[in-house]
A and B are shown apart, each in its own frame.
Chain A
Amino acid sequence: MRKSLIFATALAFAVPALANDIGQVKVAKGTVQIEREGKRVPASVGTPVRIADLLVTGADGSAGITFSDNSLVSVGPNSVFAIDKYRFDSTTHVGEFEGTLKKGKLAAVSGKMVKQTPESMKIRTPSSVMAVRGTEFVVEVKDPAAAPAAR
């Protein structure tokens, strides 16, 4: 009985399996890669995500990640998204999430940490910092070479 109790208390969610994993790729279409410690490897459904990962998609690519606090982030084609900071306490729901969209498109739905602490999630771009009070939004960083006609 004790075992099941400890189990119940410990369950935040089944996965991620490793302490370093902060989320998981749930959707991957076309070319999707993760750059970690200088090495770029293909990412697919089930690939774990860690702090300092760089998510990179090709012209045919898009990907979606579910984070441990239930934040959802997806990127569209030709995108580069860096996970700069992430921490989440599943008991207090206090946390911090900072990512940078270097180029391309991003959609996100904020999770438990923003519900607990508005603006604890931030998305940086080359010229701006966006703070999230909730819930769903999209961001685009255009290719300067393609502007201003592309719209």
Chain B
Amino acid sequence: MRLAAALIVLAAAGCAGAPERAPVPPELFVVVPGPTGHVGTIVVRSGGAERVLDRAYSAQRIAGDGSASPAALSADEVTREFGSTLESLPGRPTSFMLYFLEGRDELTPASRQEMERVFAELKRRPLPDIVVIGHTDTVGNLAYNDKLSLARAERMRELMIGLGIPPERIQAAGRGKRELLVPTDDNISEARNRRVEISVR
């Protein structure tokens, strides 16, 4: 096997009359679409040449003689070749928003339902890093809202701990009315500002 490969490399080098190059490990680079279908761009530079890959499954191969050539793979080929590698990618960092009743640390009925889905996602991760940040609308003074926002975040944190998520994996903080989702004047009741943002990775 090794001998055959070496002979092929030698033969190829001989035919092309190319200067003799030490064999290199063959390489393959492929752009893969993300879960939402977004396709990114990578730039592969080798042997003084540069190739931009920006289509789904567009690829660049480097052969054993160091020569580079474009390639296109199918989704199936990528799965076959990289399946176990792709499966080992950690869960993608993401965030969720849940909304609260006015002046309270109780979720709205709609958000209480949504919470089930969010918590299921948090539980699915083997080692989650979770940050919960509470917010309020502008009704009331700064100190009151700082306290209320923290109470909202802490409430969510306690529920997560109740689900079995280790406490040291969850940080909670309140931002009061300092970071409005929807800008308003002071002392305005605005449902969309009464929220927690839960980030997980």
A119 touches B43 (CB 8 A): yes
The smallest C-beta distance from A111 to any residue of chain B, in angstroms, reads 8
A11 touches B131 (CB 8 A): yes
Question: Scoring B residues 54 to 80 as 1 if CB is less than 8 Å from chain A, else 0, what string do you get?
Answer: 000000001010101000000000100
Question: Scoring B residues 98 to 136 as 1 if CB is less than 8 Å from chain A, else 0, what string do you get?
Answer: 000000000000000000000000000111011101000
The number of A-B residue pairs with CB atoms under 8 Å apart is 195
A-facing residues in B29-49 (Cβ within 8 Å): 29-34, 38, 40-47
- Do A72 and B30 contact each other (CB < 8 Å), given the known contacts A1-B146, A8-B174, A149-B1? no
B173 touches A27 (CB 8 A): no
- Known pairs A70-B201, A109-B89, A139-B28. 19 more at Cβ < 8 A? A4-B146, A4-B173, A7-B173, A14-B170, A24-B127, A62-B87, A66-B129, A74-B85, A105-B82, A109-B34, A129-B44, A132-B42, A136-B32, A138-B29, A138-B82, A141-B25, A144-B5, A144-B24, A148-B26
Chain A residues at the B interface, C-beta cutoff of 8 Å: 1, 4-5, 7-8, 11, 13-15, 24, 26-27, 29, 45-46, 62-66, 70, 72-77, 103, 105-111, 119, 125-149
Chain B residues at the A interface, C-beta cutoff of 8 Å: 1-2, 5, 8, 23-34, 38, 40-47, 53, 62, 64, 66, 68, 78, 81-82, 84-93, 125-127, 129-131, 133, 143, 146-147, 150, 168-171, 173-175, 199, 201
